[in-house]
């Protein structure tokens, strides 16, 4: 038994292909991103080592800090919306008829590609023929805004479809976690005279706190590296008003062919995501884990 299950050749055969793949596609590129960031390079001619110059430039680049601020705003917006999702999941996990069907309907946008969602919402926001402004005009609004062309509202106009896209995903996660709590705990609380509000805040919330932590990490890190929808809908415009870190990196690398500078941004993005994960985990680390089984 021992001998068969620790056969080195079999282990190597089973693990090495995948290991080499993630080394080649994930880990080596990460190291290279760090290295390219120390060079001046247009992707074609010879790399010139310039030390930390790209990073010094990055620190002084107001366009980059604007994009970082937008990413941060998205993270904040997504983080706050988690409260809403949690509320919906709480209601849904109660004794609601059709809860199963409802949570599936919520999930539909999540299944679609960002390109399809972006193109659809471009049409929804269309200044003259979009469904949103048609509706506003019929409600008596004379000059509805052109949502994606105005720097002051473009960000919020982009955040709404992002929320729309992911709502079902987070509701589903919370719902699954809430359904995992044994009914007997709630029964016991009810017998002791706890109100539904008390049951929600004193029993359900603490019991799913681990899952809440995971979703906070997912949503913050997801927001910090968000790209697709914004790239398709506004391409960072108008005039950088909706640029986020990942789109700024993409533009620097694949439009301005400044691969060195793009890599510096990419490496910075990686660090931010790792630090954010670490900080959230640290900040929410519970001293005791709650068991109910």
Partner 1 sequence: MRTEAAHSYPPLRQRSGVLLLRRSGYSLLYIALIAVAVIQVLPLVWLFIFSLKNNQEVFNMAPFAIPAHPHWSNYENVWSNGNIGQYFINSVWITAVSLALTVMLASFVTFAVTRMRWKSSSLVLGLFMVGLMIPVHSTLIPLFSMFNKLHLTDNPVSIILSYVAFNLPTTIMILLGFYYSLPKEVEEAAIIDGCSVNTMFFRIVLPMTSSVLATTAIINMIYNWNEFIFVNTFISSDHFKTLTVGVQNFIGQYTTDWGAIGATLMISILPILLVFLIMSERIVEGIAAGSVKG
Ramachandran category for residue 157: left, alpha or beta (phi over 0 → left; psi -120 to 50 → alpha): alpha
Site for partner 1 in 70-89 (CB under 8 A): 88
Which range of residues in 53-61, 72-80, 142-150, 165-173 is near partner 1 by CB under 8 A?
Answer: 165-173
Q: Does 64 bind partner 1 (CB under 8 A)?
A: no
Stretch that binds partner 1, among 56-64, 69-77, 197-205, 208-216 (CB under 8 A): 208-216
What is the largest distance, in Å, between two alpha-carbon atoms of the chain? 80
Choice between 152 and 191, CB closer to partner 1: 191
- Alpha-carbon distance of 245 to 241, in angstroms, equals 12
Least distance to partner 1 from the beta carbon of 164, Å? 7
* 214 touches partner 1 by CB under 8 A: yes
Nearer to partner 1, 5 or 288 (CB): 5
88: its two tokens: 């919906």
User: Which alpha helices (H) appear in 42-152, and where do they start and end?
Assistant: 53-60, 62-93, 99-111, 114-124, 131-138
Q: How far is the CB of 212 from partner 1 (least distance, A)?
A: 11
For partner 1 (CB under 8 A), the number of binding residues is 93
Q: Does 123 bind partner 1 (CB under 8 A)?
A: yes
DSSP secondary-structure letter at 256? S
3-state secondary structure of 39: strand
Bin 286: left if φ > 0, else alpha if -120 < ψ < 50, else beta.
beta
Find, among 271, 272, 228, the residue nearest to 250 by Cα. Answer: 228
Residues 224-263 that bind partner 1 (CB under 8 A): 224-225, 227-228, 232, 246, 249-250, 253-254, 259, 262-263
38 binding partner 1? (CB under 8 A):
no
């Amino acid at each position: 038994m021992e001998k068969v299950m620790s056969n080195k050749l079999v282990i190597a055969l089973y693990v090495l292909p995948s290991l080499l793949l993630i080394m080649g596609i994930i880990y080596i590129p990460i190291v290279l991103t760090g290295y390219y960031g120390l060079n001046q390079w247009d992707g074609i001619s010879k790399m010139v080592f310039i030390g930390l110059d790209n990073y010094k430039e990055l620190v002084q680049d107001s366009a980059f800090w604007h994009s970082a601020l937008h990413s941060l705003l998205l993270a904040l917006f997504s983080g706050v919306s988690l409260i809403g999702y949690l509320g919906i999941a709480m209601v849904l996990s109660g004794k609601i008829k059709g809860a199963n069907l409802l949570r599936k309907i919520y999930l539909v946008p999540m299944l679609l590609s960002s390109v399809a969602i972006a193109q659809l919402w471009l049409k929804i926001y269309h200044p003259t023929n979009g469904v949103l402004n048609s509706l506003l005009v019929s409600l008596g609004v004379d000059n509805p805004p052109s949502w994606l062309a105005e720097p002051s509202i473009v960000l919020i106009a982009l955040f709404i479809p992002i929320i729309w896209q992911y709502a079902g995903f987070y509701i589903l996660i919370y719902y699954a976690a809430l359904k995992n709590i044994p009914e007997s705990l709630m029964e016991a609380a009810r017998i002791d005279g706890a109100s539904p509000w008390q049951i929600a805040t004193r029993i359900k919330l603490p019991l799913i706190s681990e899952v809440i932590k995971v979703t906070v990490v997912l949503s913050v890190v997801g927001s910090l590296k968000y790209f697709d929808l914004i790239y398709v809908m506004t391409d960072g415009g108008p005039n950088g008003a909706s640029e986020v870190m990942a789109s700024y990196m993409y533009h620097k690398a694949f439009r301005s062919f400044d691969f060195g500078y793009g890599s510096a941004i990419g490496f910075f993005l990686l660090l931010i995501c790792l630090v954010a994960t670490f900080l959230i985990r640290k900040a929410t680390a519970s001293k005791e884990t709650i068991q109910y089984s």
